[in-house]
Amino acid sequence: MTRQETLTIALLPAWALSCCALFPATLDREWLWLAIALATISAIIGTILRRLGLAEFFVKIVQAIPGSVFLYQTVIANPTDLLWETAYYVIEAAPPMEPHDGFRVLTAFALWVFYLILDLLVISFNQVCWSFPILFAPYLISALGILEDVDWWYVCFGAAGFLLVLIGSAKARNPAAGLASLLGLGAAMGVFCLAGSIGLSPLLPNWSVISLNPSSPDAVTLADPSVDIVRNLRRSEARPVLKYAYTSGEAGNGTYLRLAALPVFTSNGFGISPTQLEYVDRDLPGQAGITSTDPVELKVEIGSFVSQYLPLPWGARSVDVTGQWGYDPVNSALVSLDENAGQTTVNLGYELTASPLSWTDEELATRVAGNPADNGLTLSLPAELPESIRSLAESFNAGGPTAGQLLLNMRDWLRSSEFRYSTATQPGTPMDTIEDFLLSSRTGYCEQFAAALAIMARSVGIPSRVVVGFLPGSLSNGIWSVDTHDMHAWTELYLDGLGWIPLDATPGGANPNPTSSPSNTPSVTPSSSTQPSTAPSQSPTATPLPGGQAFNLPGWVPTTGGIVLALGLLLCAPRWTRAIRTRRRLSPRHPLPARVEDCWDELRDRLIDAGQEWPTGTVHQVTETLVAGVFADDEKSSQAVTELALLVEQFRFAKEQPSGDPAALIGKLGLTSKNRWFPRSLFRFRRPPGAHSR
């Protein structure tokens, strides 16, 4: 079996293993089989053409034919539309994505290109180490595209693939190598790669966090909770977030749980505001306008939910929770101040006291717009807002209704049969999307409904903001269970005498105010096939929150991994340097005279690494000393040294060019290094007399 065939046998499964790191991105698996089929055909073509002795340039051209034909047959009919459609699908869809023809085709083609690059680097150019970034590319795509949803162990697919390539390379260089030595090499490299992956993990950026007002010395860094809504709603399988139970007071229909309000509205949509946090211990600042009823007490247990914000009901008075927390008065949120704030909520339990809202639609209809004293923050509208949306909002003012009645009319219109709930929204800018939602398609999910009500309210002078949090969830045996499909957005409006009151304009949404009565305007009842429902459904019985759903490295692990990586690099550097030097000296790509001198130097270094001293004198004198001393009892090594010395003398003194294979003679030497990790030959700063300088 030739070197190229050995490498091909190792390369194909190594590449296929690395492709498995894309599994978290999609439920579809057909892209993998398509890619494997294309890569296998290219591998077979390469093997046959190399057997025939054709040039590598021609081999690569013919290997590119299968994927080119595949792409031509599937894409060429309408390439632009397919590319844009797939791009929008990837941007909008939540991982793991449902099967999609464009994604399947383009992913299979891209992975096939990865295989051709690997074939070029490893087989054509003999650059095995450069296969590392290619084999880890699928994992990086998943990790950077899906962020925290990718389990850490998916990196093992790329690592296992790289180990296969290394083992295949070792076998190709030394066909007589046994299985034990190859597995030993694999185990050593596996430990090194694992330490490296852990050590380098802190260097990856946290794309889910944005910086607010960085010029301000009092600014804090907060995440935008709205970025996860559509991704969580589109998950094919809901993941548990938290459970809560009422320990005192009436449960009613459960409670909405707020994360944060988004009061800033620009051409990029709604977002959080720069803020200064107020340190709190247990009691929370009062919220103006809340009509207190009998307080309720809740016990909450969070699972693997990662957030800077603590889920709280509106009207929370106090909270008993571990860690350091600060109250955000602008966004009405409780924010973690711990060093590892993003992980604070994982497996967190806490108790709280809250005063539920208490108002009726009839009472709301009598209210006028209030002033939240926020310098117009919740009334501002961007200049890019289409005039058609302003006109639409003004149309609800006909007849001069109060601000409260106007809001009820807007809410009920958005919840009517004229609108349809769907997470498949139209692509475009935020302004384009909201205009399409209100005036054209009238199709969207909770963010569009909440934003539409907030924008129309601002257009008629009512302060408003979008809120991100969770629906009440489902009830079972006295325990409310909230999962990722319950993530939600709704609107809060500021009315005189009531303060901030929540309205949910999404069809099928629960009522944020459990004591309010429905308005006289009919509202729709969405079908269960297209809208989320908050009605009780089959859910797990009341059991402790499941643990271990997310693997979260303790803070000391990355630091320790980095130290291990640095020490591993220092430990391996001498051995790798020695191995690279040996490989360069024995390489058949060098001219034969140069290889003869290189092999004579290699003989000297191997002797030194074995704990022996290099004799002084001419080539002939050195040979006699070695044959009579070190190799006196090793006839095979003595013969190899004698033949190598003859080649050196022929090269140096004979007029005719020498012939033979000096590298093969080096392979016959019976020398074993006493310390492969710290070879003595690397630490001799004075070169022995007569040593070659190459």
Residue 294 φ/ψ, nearest 5 degrees: -60, 125
DSSP 213-231: -TTSTT--EE--GGGGHHH
For residues 512 and 524, the answer to whether their CB atoms sit within 8 Å is no
Contacts of 503 (CB under 8 A, 6+ apart): 407, 411, 453, 490, 491, 492, 493, 512
The pLDDT value recorded for residue 36 is: 93
Three-state DSSP at 499 gives: strand
More reliable by pLDDT, 249 or 557: 249
* Helix (H) or strand (E) run with residue 625 in it: helix 619-628
Residue 280 φ/ψ, nearest 5 degrees: -130, 150
Average pLDDT score over residue span 65-82:
75
CA-to-CA distance for 186 and 497, rounded, in angstroms?
72
Examine residue 214 and say whether the peptide bond preceding it is cis (omega within 30 degrees of 0). Answer: no
Q: List C-alpha distances in Å: 245 to 479, 511, 642.
A: 5, 19, 87
CA-to-CA distance for 423 and 436, rounded, in angstroms?
14
**Dihedral of alpha carbons 204, 210, 216, 217, sign:** negative
Q: List C-alpha distances in Å: 485 to 234, 343, 406, 470.
A: 8, 21, 30, 9
Instruction: Please write the tens of the pLDDT for every residue from 14-62.
Output: 999 999 988 888 888 888 999 999 999 999 999 999 888 888 888 989 9
Which pLDDT band holds residue 192 (cuts at 50, 70, 90)? low
The pLDDT value recorded for residue 13 is: 94
For residues 510 and 504, the answer to whether their CB atoms sit within 8 Å is yes
Helices (H) and strands (E) in the chain, counts: 20, 19
Three-state DSSP at 366 gives: coil
CA-to-CA distance for 693 and 251, rounded, in angstroms?
86
Which pLDDT band holds residue 451 (cuts at 50, 70, 90)? very high
More reliable by pLDDT, 76 or 402: 402
Q: Check whether 504 has a pLDDT greater than 70.
A: yes
CA-to-CA distance for 212 and 221, rounded, in angstroms?
6
The pair of three-digit structure tokens given for residue 664, joined into one six-digit string = 């093969």
The pLDDT value recorded for residue 656 is: 66
For residues 212 and 331, the answer to whether their CB atoms sit within 8 Å is no
- What stretches of 213-316 show up as alpha helix (H) in DSSP? 229-233
The pair of three-digit structure tokens given for residue 300, joined into one six-digit string = 């909450």
Amino acid letter, residue 297: E
Q: Check whether 433 has a pLDDT greater than 90.
A: no
The pLDDT value recorded for residue 519 is: 40
Q: Check whether 572 has a pLDDT greater than 50.
A: yes
Nearest Cα to 438, choosing from 416, 457, 414, 407? Answer: 414
The pLDDT value recorded for residue 517 is: 40
Question: To which residue do tokens 């499964």 refer?
Answer: 13
51-65, 157-171, 216-230, 316-330 — which is least confidently predicted? Answer: 216-230
Q: Check whether 536 has a pLDDT greater than 50.
A: no
Residue 248 half-sphere exposure, CB side, CA atoms within 13 Å?
Answer: 9
Question: Among the ranges 82-96, 244-258, 380-394, which has the highest mean pLDDT value?
Answer: 380-394
The pLDDT value recorded for residue 272 is: 83
Q: What count of other Cβ atoms lies within 10 Å of the Cβ of residue 347?
A: 17
As a residue count, the chain comes to 694
- Largest Cα–Cα separation, the chain: 116
DSSP class of 603: H
Nearest Cα to 453, choosing from 401, 507, 524, 376? Answer: 507
Contacts of 558 (CB under 8 A, 6+ apart): 198, 199, 201, 202
CA dihedral 343, 346, 351, 356 (to 10 degrees): 80
CA-to-CA distance for 272 and 224, rounded, in angstroms?
7
For residues 276 and 472, the answer to whether their CB atoms sit within 8 Å is no
**Dihedral of alpha carbons 512, 517, 522, 525, sign:** positive
CA-to-CA distance for 209 and 221, rounded, in angstroms?
7
CA-to-CA distance for 519 and 561, rounded, in angstroms?
60
Q: Check whether 440 has a pLDDT greater than 60.
A: yes
251-260, 507-516, 640-649 — which is least confidently predicted? Answer: 507-516
Instruction: Please write the tens of the pLDDT for every residue from 167-190.
Output: 888 888 777 665 555 556 555 655
> What is the overall mean pLDDT for the chain?
77
Instruction: Please write the tens of the pLDDT for every residue from 281-316.
Output: 778 876 555 545 678 899 999 988 888 889 998 888
For residues 131 and 532, the answer to whether their CB atoms sit within 8 Å is no
Report the DSSP beta bridge partners of residue 369: 495
**Dihedral of alpha carbons 251, 252, 254, 255, sign:** negative
The pLDDT value recorded for residue 219 is: 40
Q: Check whether 431 has a pLDDT greater than 50.
A: yes
Q: What count of other Cβ atoms lies within 10 Å of the Cβ of residue 427?
A: 14
Question: Among the ranges 176-185, 195-204, 649-658, which has the highest mean pLDDT value?
Answer: 649-658
More reliable by pLDDT, 692 or 252: 252
CA-to-CA distance for 451 and 504, rounded, in angstroms?
11
Report the DSSP beta bridge partners of residue 42: none
CA-to-CA distance for 163 and 185, rounded, in angstroms?
8
126-140, 203-217, 477-491 — which is least confidently predicted? Answer: 203-217
DSSP 163-181: HHHHHHHHHHH-TT--HHH
Which pLDDT band holds residue 198 (cuts at 50, 70, 90)? low
The pLDDT value recorded for residue 80 is: 67
The pLDDT value recorded for residue 191 is: 61
Average pLDDT score over residue span 379-398:
90
Amino acid letter, residue 609: D
Three-state DSSP at 36 gives: helix
The pair of three-digit structure tokens given for residue 503, joined into one six-digit string = 């309205």
Report the DSSP beta bridge partners of residue 319: 352
The pLDDT value recorded for residue 679 is: 83
Contacts of 562 (CB under 8 A, 6+ apart): 198, 199, 200, 202
More reliable by pLDDT, 421 or 174: 421
* Helix (H) or strand (E) run with residue 437 in it: helix 430-439
Which pLDDT band holds residue 540 (cuts at 50, 70, 90)? very low
Which pLDDT band holds residue 533 (cuts at 50, 70, 90)? very low
The pLDDT value recorded for residue 181 is: 56
The pLDDT value recorded for residue 351 is: 93
Pairing mode of beta strands 269-271, 316-320? unpaired
266-280, 388-402, 445-459, 647-661 — which is least confidently predicted? Answer: 647-661
Three-state DSSP at 325 gives: strand
Q: Check whether 355 has a pLDDT greater than 50.
A: yes
CA-to-CA distance for 276 and 686, rounded, in angstroms?
65
